[in-house]
A and B are shown apart, each in its own frame.
Chain A
Amino acid sequence: MPKITFVEADGTEIVVEARSGISLMENAIANNVDGIEAECGGSCMCATCHCYLADDQAGLSVMQDDEDEMLGFVASERKPGSRLSCQITVTDDMDGMQVHLPAEQN
């Protein structure tokens, strides 16, 4: 069970015992992290589960074209570490990961 810290835009930290094998978005929702909306439920259609990760974060899957294209239209600024959390499968390697959330998702 990797420990993951979600940091809301106002600085609030939520530390969760994450489940490996499901998405980062699903972990956020399961732990009532407000800064993730995920309107479409994880279909890579709505770009409302945007998050910022460290560039050198271990265990990340390679970004597919779809996600890259959707990230071009997120409500808050796209930065180098921007990802859609529904496209990231949590692994044990992610223990200690910090996930920063944007102020706006839509």
Chain B
Amino acid sequence: MPGPVLIVGGGQAGVQLCMALRREKYQGAISLYCEEPEYPYHRPPLSKSYVTGATDDDKLPMRPESFYEKNAIDVYLNAPVTSVDIHRSEASVGGTAVGYSSLVLATGARPRRLDWQNDAPAGVFSLRDLSDARQIRAGLQNCKSLVVIGAGFIGLELAAAACAAGVQVTVFEMADRVMGRAVAPTISTFFEATHRAAGVDIRLGASVSGLEHSDGQVSGVQCADGTTLAADMVVVGIGVTPNVELAEQAGISCDNGILVDEHCRTEASSVFACGDCAAHRNRFAGGRSVRLESIQNATDQARTIAASIAGEPKPYTAVPWFWSDQGSHKLQMAGLAFDADSYIERGDREGGRFSIFHYRGDKLLAVDSVNESRDHMVARKLIEAAISPGQDQAGDPGFDLKSLI
């Protein structure tokens, strides 16, 4: 009988691992330990349709409770794992030692916080889990003016949703463009214009240095330029920190994430890590160690681990892809553009449907697509197969890129 698998974390990676193990016909016991009081749920809607009430709670569960029962997966809610002893192959949950033959750390990440968030008045939020989203959703019902700090995916998704619901939204971004770490400047410019046209006040090169409040409730923000701005809600979206404490406590090496090999195995042979918390050498990033925060990465790394545990290991080689829905616009990214030295535009930017193809020399590294699912899907195939269209082909919308596959 194969041994018990203990999974720490009920996010996308943890649930996908349960599914993949059973799909691989793994017969051993599977336990899923979740910190939150909820059965695992979809996170992507939390920064979009959920906060405005367009998506209800009953749409959020990733699988019905009967799924876990049917597949003999023991789910523990409100059950943080507090320590791991890799020599005894035991984890501690609420003071009880639980043995495992394979341990999977799918501990996720938590929002980075600003110094002044620690003693902030009511009305100041980060957005990561359902509890945050519920508070933001409730707050938005009576919110006239929202300040969003950080113009990354989460911040802009939330800004678009709140603006569409009639809230006055101001976004502060320290950098000189939106989503600066993730997309080409042309894409940043497009989304900046789009959000502004919808009525969002985007302030670039701007930051918030403190809060104004009355009666324990936030009433505005102090801007770094000395001005103040009224606000009855503030949401901070400035990125995340990987949850590596459990791995560190267990003596497993971490460096901006839990370090794993191509099978998502940590340096402890019975311990794996996947999803937002795991740092791996990615072949699409020139072999550098990266931590990818995406559904794709969580899903495919979980599958990689399931294959190893089920006895048929295969390395993690999936093409990274990401998406962000902002208002009515769909941004999709394939590949990793870290090493790009040039880019080519394809499509109709004026009409709001275009893609940016990132190259290093003649090699296609990544493609960012706006409202162009076809380019995105072709890009995933091209990058996976290491096929690089000529830059003249990429730039010519009349050329059928699919013909190269």
Contacts and interface: CB of A to CB of B under 8 A. Distances in A.
Majority secondary structure of chain A interface residues (helix, strand, loop or mixed): loop
A34 to B, nearest CB: 8
A29 B402 CA distance: 32
Question: 6 tightest CB-CB pairs across the interface, nearest first?
Answer: A41-B42, A69-B373, A73-B377, A69-B374, A45-B323, A66-B373
12 contacts: A22-B59, A29-B63, A31-B64, A32-B67, A39-B16, A40-B295, A41-B44, A41-B62, A42-B42, A44-B373, A47-B377, A66-B373
A40 B64 contact: no
Given A34-B23, A39-B299, A69-B377, 19 more contacts: A22-B59, A30-B64, A32-B63, A32-B64, A32-B66, A32-B67, A39-B16, A41-B42, A42-B59, A43-B44, A43-B325, A45-B332, A46-B295, A70-B373, A72-B377, A72-B402, A73-B377, A73-B378, A73-B380
Nearest to A22: B59
Contacts of B323: 40, 43, 45
Interface of A: 22, 26, 29-32, 34, 37, 39-47, 65-66, 69-70, 72-73
A33 to B, nearest CB: 10
Interface string B321-356: 001010000101000000000000000000000000
Interface of B: 16, 19, 23, 42, 44-45, 59, 62-64, 66-67, 70, 295-296, 299, 323, 325, 330, 332, 373-374, 377-378, 380-381, 402
Contacts of B380: 73
B295 A39 contact: yes
Contacts of B381: 73
Contacts of B296: 39
A46 to B, nearest CB: 8
A29 B374 contact: no
Contacts of B66: 32
Nearest to A38: B62
Contacts of A32: 63-64, 66-67, 70
A37 B330 CA distance: 21
Nearest to B19: A37
Contact of A41 (B45, B70, B373, B402): B45
A45 B374 CA distance: 11
Contacts of B16: 39
Contacts of B67: 32
Contacts of A45: 295, 323, 332
B373 A26 contact: no
Contacts of A47: 377
A40 B324 CA distance: 11
Contacts of B330: 66
Contacts of A30: 64
A43 B325 CA distance: 9
Chain A CB within 10 Å, residue with most, of B44, B377, B378, B380: B377
Contacts of B44: 40-41, 43
Contacts of B332: 45
Contacts of B42: 41-42
